[in-house]
Amino acid sequence: MFLTLTCPSYGRVLEDGTPADPACYDYQRAARDALHFAALFDRFIQNLRRFLGYDVQYFAAVEPQRRLAPHIHITMRGTFSRTELRQVLAATYHQVWWPPTEMVKHDEANPPVWHEASGNYLDRATGELLPTWDQALDVIGGHDDPLHVARFGAKFDAQGVLAGSRDANRCIGYLTKYLTKHLGDCHQPQTGPQAEHTDRLVQALRYEPCSPRCANWLRYGIQPRNPRPGLRPGHCRGKAHRREHLGYTGRRVLVSANGRARHSPTTAPTASTGSWPRSASPKPTPPGTPGNPSPPAIPTTCHPPSASCTSSPTGNTGTPPSPKPDDEPTDRPIIRRRGRRHDGGSRRPTSPAR
């Protein structure tokens, strides 16, 4: 299946990707959605796997839309209904529980100063220590709202694709089209309104905190995590603030090829004739034929149920393999089971008394 997910709308957009009314376009939300788009996609994959009951295999590539908001193309192995995808998307969101950023306490004209003795930043006017990152998080209570809630847009595109078809080649082109480019280089501004739209988005990203270690937290009177000297609000070195990344901080290509086959919740998997079930034990060694001797057996040490079997003569702990039954001490306790042979003799199960 080929799936495309986009960000929500921030205002009416023209055909060239520029907002019809820049004053009503929500640049702050656009910047925050781009910053947390990678975490939102990770949450979607978690929810989808929990909903379907198995690890979905996928290959995905992040690209910018004409309006410069990130969107993602995903190829997934398997077939899912649009109703199921719509339910998972409606239940997918990412909450960012960070300190509030409504009030600017230290602008570029009045930045905090570094105190070498204590290893903290001080308020230049009062000389007080700024609250640390952990202290700022402790202030957030149950009555507060998250700083931002990221969601996907209401529209998505899902198509069933068969391997080797013309649609499959077209989807591969979507996935590989922008792998060698930065997000900001995919849609170069061709007109004045497009250049102004890019400048406004980059300006909104300049003072938006990109991570707990971002220097922009000093602008709001909070020390970032693991502070160090030389931090200045509006000059964070994170790639999210650069024009070529447009706020997106995750990987451009995301691959997950370790999914498992889907099993029915009520019936066991059925193997085809002549096949070996994956859930069964390893295949036995085939018998030798004239001119083709049998391969040597691999010694295997089996551990208790809490451990696993390893193809090593010494096992995981480096200890020698278990002794043969003839070499084991004879004074060990014998666990007898009904209907089994013990010590060369046999024992038939007795009928219970009536």
pLDDT in tens, 131-171: 999 999 999 998 999 999 999 998 888 888 888 788 888 88
246: in domain: yes
Residue 62 CB neighbours (<10 A): 20
State the DSSP string of 166-214. Answer: HHHHHHHHHHHTTTTS-HHHHS---SHHHHHHHHHHHHHHHSS--STT-
Band of pLDDT at residue 176, cut at 50, 70 and 90: confident
Mean pLDDT of the chain: 76
With a cut of 60, say whether residue 333 has pLDDT above it.
Answer: no
Report the alpha-carbon distance of residue 68 to residue 238 in Å, rounded.
19
38: in domain: yes
In terms of residue numbers, what domain contains 88? Answer: 2-256
Residues recorded for the chain: 354
Report the alpha-carbon distance of residue 32 to residue 38 in Å, rounded.
11
C-alpha distances in Å from residue 189, one per residue of 24, 194, 206: 21, 5, 20
Domain count within the chain: 1
Residue 224 CB neighbours (<10 A): 22
Residue 133 CB neighbours (<10 A): 19
225: in domain: yes
Band of pLDDT at residue 183, cut at 50, 70 and 90: low
Residue 136 CB neighbours (<10 A): 21
With a cut of 50, say whether residue 298 has pLDDT above it.
Answer: no
User: Could you tell me which residue, 168 or 316, shows the higher pLDDT?
Assistant: 168
Report the alpha-carbon distance of residue 101 to residue 136 in Å, rounded.
11
Dig out the tokens for 114 from the structure.
């570094």
224: in domain: yes
Report the alpha-carbon distance of residue 149 to residue 94 in Å, rounded.
6
User: Could you tell me which residue, 205 or 312, shows the higher pLDDT?
Assistant: 205
Dig out the tokens for 274 from the structure.
């002549």
Mean pLDDT, range 71-76, rounded to an integer = 89
With a cut of 70, say whether residue 296 has pLDDT above it.
Answer: no
Percent of the residues in the chain that have a pLDDT greater than 90, as a whole number:
45
Report the alpha-carbon distance of residue 237 to residue 48 in Å, rounded.
34
270: in domain: no
With a cut of 80, say whether residue 302 has pLDDT above it.
Answer: no
39: in domain: yes
With a cut of 90, say whether residue 64 has pLDDT above it.
Answer: no
The pLDDT score that the predictor gives to residue 310 is 35
Strand partners, 95: 149
pTM for the predicted model, two decimal places: 0.69
With a cut of 60, say whether residue 238 has pLDDT above it.
Answer: yes
With a cut of 50, say whether residue 328 has pLDDT above it.
Answer: no
Residue 31: burial class (beta carbons within 10 Å; 0-12, 13-18, 19+): buried
331: in domain: no
Q: Which helix (H) or strand (E) holds 58?
A: strand 58-64
The pLDDT score that the predictor gives to residue 308 is 37
With a cut of 50, say whether residue 300 has pLDDT above it.
Answer: no
pLDDT per residue over 99-114, tens digit each? 999 999 998 888 999 9
DSSP state at residue 129: B
Band of pLDDT at residue 51, cut at 50, 70 and 90: very high
182: in domain: yes
Region of residue 87 (phi > 0: left; psi between -120 and 50: alpha; otherwise: beta)? alpha
The pLDDT score that the predictor gives to residue 345 is 45
